[in-house]
Amino acid sequence: GESAVWDRAQARMADGAENNVVVSKNKRHRKDKPWDHEGIDHWAIPKCGKDENPSGLADESSFAVLFPKYREKYLRESWPLVTRSLKEVGVRCELNLVEGSMSVFTTRKTYDPYIIIKARDLIKLLSRSVPAPQALKVLQDDVNCDIIKIGGLIRNTDKFVKRRQRLIGPNGSTLKALELLTNCYILVQGNTVSAMGSYKGLKVVRRIVEDCIKNVHPIFHIKELMIKRELEKDERLKNESWDRFLPKFKKKNVQRKKPKVIRQKKEYTPFPPPQMPSKVDLQIESGEYFLNQRQKKAKTFEEKQERQARRTEESKRRREEAFRPPGEGGDPPSTKKAKPGSESLSDVVKSLKSKGSSKPRDRDAAGDVSEYFADAKSEKKKKKKKEKKEKKKKKEK
């Protein structure tokens, strides 16, 4: 009997040891879920039908969005299409042209609780100039939207316009390339960029758009996306890092042109500069302030006489310099100042010969000119004679 009791005690101890497995604090109360198995796809979006929520929603939810004036005409034309599409999913919509707003509301027929968020995204896209047929695709489960605000990323308006145009590209080629690589619809409108597609594609589009406004060209991202698309096809590289295949672009710090005149900064002092003396202060210092009117006039007259005397002396000295010979310390009267002793005798003879030879040429030239004028006068006389003869003939006829 004792041996049987001992065996049962040992069995109980073994069961307790098995049950006392160390489990982390976070997973202590977790239980196995019958629907959570290895073959399940956690990223798949389950469809929500009328059978899933037959009783509908407990309360009404609504969203309203304002739209610009230039969209009024288009929204009025396309509103029947929007109303029909939202009615199918049990959402009511209103277009208020007085306030310039669009509103969406849930109804008793609404069975999908998330469809009101989709309807809100729809009216947001319509207000941002997305065409109605394209915007209605956001009601599908696998299509999402993202409105990227780019207006506040840069202050300079000229730079902003250039970089926004860089995102679009020549004839929209850059935007088309991004749409093909990310499988998203992209529309650049004013200060926002509207994008529609999968969550993965929208994440890439946001990064590219924000980098473009921050002066990173979209072509770098396009190259990277093209390489990644090719690498996805290779089964062997699924579990490996792709960093060795992706291009690494270095930033080029283009230095600004240095100014020609570099201003030296003055040393900072907290005290202001001393005040400059006024006209009255200077008169007090010189004693002129205390003179009467007659004395002031006499002083100004004396100063005037001194200035005139100084000027006459200077003009007299200038006139005398022209008559001073070169040997007496003054310059020669000629305009060109030649150093004394620099010209040799042969140079002087050559210059005199050239001057002498130039005179007959001038005479010849003068003769030629006079002949030219004489010929011109004779031609004019001949023309006048011809004209007179022609007039006489006409009169005779």
Residues in the chain: 397
Band the pLDDT of 351: cuts 50, 70, 90.
confident
Is the pLDDT confidence value at 391 over 90? no
> What mean pLDDT is reported for the chain?
82
Provide the token pair at 224.
């990277």
Task: Provide mean pLDDT across the span 18-24.
Answer: 60
Sequence-distant (6+) residues with CB within 8 A of 59 are none
Predicted local confidence at residue 101, as pLDDT: 94
**Residues 6 or more apart whose Cβ sits within 8 Å of residue 129:** 71, 187, 189, 194
User: In one letter, which amino acid is 387?
Assistant: E
Q: Which amino acid is at 194?
A: S
Cβ of 239: how many Cβ atoms within 10 Å?
A: 6
> Which stretch of 30-39, 156-165, 176-185 has the lowest confidence by average pLDDT?
30-39
DSSP, collapsed to helix, strand or coil, labels residue 147 as strand
The candidate with the shortest Cα–Cα distance to 123, out of 98, 161, 152, 96, is 96
**Distance in Å from the first CA to the final CA of the chain:** 174
166 touches 208 (CB < 8 A)? no
Whole-angstrom distance, CA of residue 318 vs CA of residue 323: 10
**Is pLDDT above 60 for 102?**
yes
Q: What is the DSSP letter of 47?
A: -
* Residue 363, pLDDT score: 44
- Is residue 137 predicted with pLDDT exceeding 90? yes
